[in-house]
Amino acid sequence: YWSSLRYFFFFSSRRRHTRCSGVSWARRCVQETGTWGYLQNKLESKYKSDQVLSKENQAKWAQIPEGRKANLSRDFYLYEFENGLETLLFGQEPILIRKGPFTYKESLELKDIQFSEDEKTANFKVTSKQDPQQQDNEGSIKTLNVGQLSFWNARIIANLRQYAGTVLIQTQDVLLSLHNELLAKYIFKFNIPSGLTQLYQTASIGTANQEFINNDAYYGFKNVQSTLGFVRACLLQDPLTSGLKEYFQLTTEQFNALVNGFKQWIQAAQDQLDKAYTCEGGSCTPQILASKQWNSGVVTKSPPEGIDALESIKDGNSTIRGYPEIFLYFN
């Protein structure tokens, strides 16, 4: 736009004998030469067009904020728990030392951008990245395990037997998910590699939809975590409410046939869980497996054949801080 500005300066100056020099006189000069309205409209038009993703500016949107020649970083601070044992055993006031900053560069990447025919909507995949830039502190940092700290605090004023049930309820979101994860791991290892072709044929699902389901990393069969999403959908009272029929662009008949076949795999995996663990009533429900894991860790230590053994559910989930199971604190 500065090139356009200089162009109008030159010709308008010759026509009106207007002398334009100096940055502070730029706007006045443009007004005098009659080009301010034109320049203002061009700038406003460019600004508005960049705010909406389009085929013309998708290169800028593909890398955010890099595509817009900007940097976005975030500083994180952690707190070192200096006197954990003293606080726990003797009631001392906690001493927390701030450590940091830990600086991360944040960015978003838009992939596989596809526009509708009228270009009013677009579908794309978004990947969020946090790249470490610098950190003032190295080594491990001892932090609060709030869940277990609250348990031991309550242990002082409550009977262990009475309180154990309450704590188990508080951690059920983590422990109960273990059941579905075991089902997903077993199905992904033993059923999906050899049974998908037959499952798709039974459900009359075409090649394009098959590739979509196979490669989808959120609810398809690309990995264990995505398979877990389909397991959860199939265990709903009405799987149609999961929204996966619309997500994978299937008919109701195709989706129901796919779910019915997948439920057979879930039942076969459940039979393996019942075989691997001795459960009251013969069926290893999510609650029973959670209780076993809470008290002994046997569920992750001795899983069905073909599934990797883990000391704790923490070892299979990077978002869990500390050890949720109580048995680890008695060893």
The residue assigned the tokens 């989808």 is 216
Task: Write out the chain's pLDDT in tens, 331 residues.
Answer: 444 444 444 444 444 444 444 444 455 555 555 555 656 666 666 666 667 778 877 777 777 776 666 678 888 888 888 887 777 667 788 888 988 888 888 888 888 888 888 888 888 888 888 888 866 556 677 776 666 666 555 555 555 445 444 444 455 566 678 899 999 999 999 999 899 999 999 999 999 999 999 999 888 999 998 999 899 999 988 998 888 999 999 999 999 999 999 999 999 999 999 999 888 777 898 888 888 888 888 999 999 888 989 888 878 776 666 667 878 776 5
Give CA separation, 210 vs 114, 191, 200, 217, 254, in Å: 19, 16, 7, 14, 12
| pLDDT reported for residue 254 | 95
Phi, psi of 134 (to 5 degrees): -160, 155
| pLDDT reported for residue 129 | 80
Tokens representing residue 147 in the block: 């869940």
Tokens representing residue 243 in the block: 């929204």
Nearest CA among 294, 187, 279, 198 for reference residue 235: 187
DSSP state of 120: S
CA–CA distance, 23 with 6 (Å, rounded to integer)? 12
| pLDDT reported for residue 272 | 92
| pLDDT reported for residue 33 | 52
Tokens representing residue 61 in the block: 């949107």
Strands 73-81 and 122-135: unpaired
Tokens representing residue 116 in the block: 């509708």
Exposure of 325 in the CB half-sphere (CA atoms within 13 A): 26
Q: What is the DSSP string of 23-86?
A: GGGHHHHHHHTT-HHHHHHHHHHHHHHHTS--TTTHHHHHEETGGGT---EEEEEEEEETTHHH
Classify residue 91 as left (phi > 0), alpha (psi -120 to 50) or beta: left
